Structure 1
Amino acid sequence: MIVTLIVLCEIAFWVLLAAGLGLRYAARMPRLGAAVLLCEPLLEVVLLVVTAIDLRNGADPDWKHGLAAVYIGFTVGLGHSTIKWVDAWVSHRFADGPPPVRPPKYGMARAAHEWRVAGRWMVASATALALLQAAVWYVGGDGDTTSLRAWQQKMLFVIGLNLVIAASYTLFPKRDQRGDAKHVPGPPAG
């Protein structure tokens, strides 16, 4: 049941996103579109409540409960930036808005971008870690929390991996073809 609910929450996330952006740009109802987009967090609340009820009713904590915590964490850490990016893309594609901002390619600007991305992933992982720990405490010493602890290790790995990636862009900044890490390419000639 939990896996089905996670899949339904993911589908509902994209349906609400499409509906909100459709109202915002196609129907020219930006306030109603924003209201629909603000309903996105309710999906995570429903998933959290159902997972807690499932554990309360005596379900053995397993990988599904851990996956629910990870899904919620990733939505918290990455959901806003995903919505923002899709909104910019739809605005550009269908409402004559400016093109979405592309990440810098070179130098410390790229490193700063990678640290921001790593920060979002770390927030996602830290949120999942906190929810997993809350589930461990909720289950108590009587239940087998091995699968929840395994998810915690995976989240620590995600944090470590993102730190390594961001640090690599800082220590070894990518340079353009001319070797100048500060060069920002201008608009194409035309």
Structure 2
Amino acid sequence: MIPLIIACEVGFWVLLLAGLAARYLLKAKTLSTVLLICVPLVDLVLLAASVIDLRGGGTATVAHGLAAIYIGVSVAFGGQLVRWADQRFAHRFAGGPAPVRPPKHGPAHAAYERRQWLRHLLAYAIAVAVMGLFTLLVGDVERVLPMWGPMGGWGVVVIVDFLISFSYTLAPRKAKS
């Protein structure tokens, strides 16, 4: 399962870069659109492979938990990551405007950090939902306990991220003078 997760991550970047290269270097808009539409299909491949493995009698392992986490992060942050890459690719290879950077201080920075935390929470919730689906498919809580292992550590990270992100609301970062 770990090699499949790695292959999906590589596939994500290959499809994204190929789609952007088709758009900006080859000027092939249709090809670019097809390649970029295929980017989220990587998540479906990983989800389907995990479901097939579990339905086929496989024991849910930490790798299945990592697959769910990958899917959650990809769904929550994928669009933002594609826009980030698109801005940089357009700027570098097509004379597009300089990429927009997130705010570094003040209320705008605090609002940005809160939105990023909400995205992080969404990723966590999606991963929990996917693991819940896996748990239902297996039908035996004992067989899925190892899969849930990474969620405890990630839960701590979500809480720490909350504290840091929302601290900027109470004490906004000041501009350097």
Normalised-by-shorter TM-score class: over 0.9
For residues 11-50 of structure 1, the aligned pairs below 5 Å read 11-50=10-49
Q: Work out the CA distance in 1 between the residues paired with 2:49 and 2:21.
A: 30
Flag the structure with more relative contact order, 1 or 2, with Cα contacts below 8 A and sequence separation at least 6.
Answer: 2
TM-score under structure 2 length normalisation: 0.93
Q: Work out the CA distance in 2 between the residues paired with 1:98 and 1:64.
A: 41
TM-score under structure 1 length normalisation: 0.87
For residues 106-125 of structure 1, the aligned pairs below 5 Å read 106-125=105-124
Q: 2:8 — aligned with what? A: 9
How many percent identity over aligned positions? 40
Determine if the alignment matches structure 1 residue 132 to structure 2 residue 124: no
Matched-pair contact (CA < 8 Å) for 1:23–1:30: yes
Query: CA RMSD of the aligned region, Å?
Result: 1.5
Deviation at 1:140, TM superposition (A): 1.7
For residues 96-115 of structure 1, the aligned pairs below 5 Å read 96-115=95-114
Deviation at 1:174, TM superposition (A): 0.6
Which has more radius of gyration? 1
Deviation at 1:142, TM superposition (A): 6.0
Q: Work out the CA distance in 2 between the residues paired with 1:30 and 1:164.
A: 43
Q: 1:183 — aligned with what? A: none
Deviations 1:130-157 (A, max 9, x none): 1111212222236422212223323423
Number of matched pairs:
177
Gaps of 5+ in 2: none
Q: Work out the CA distance in 1 between the residues paired with 2:30 and 2:89.
A: 16
Deviation at 1:164, TM superposition (A): 1.3
Change (3 A) 1:138 1:151: farther
Q: 2:91 — aligned with what? A: 92
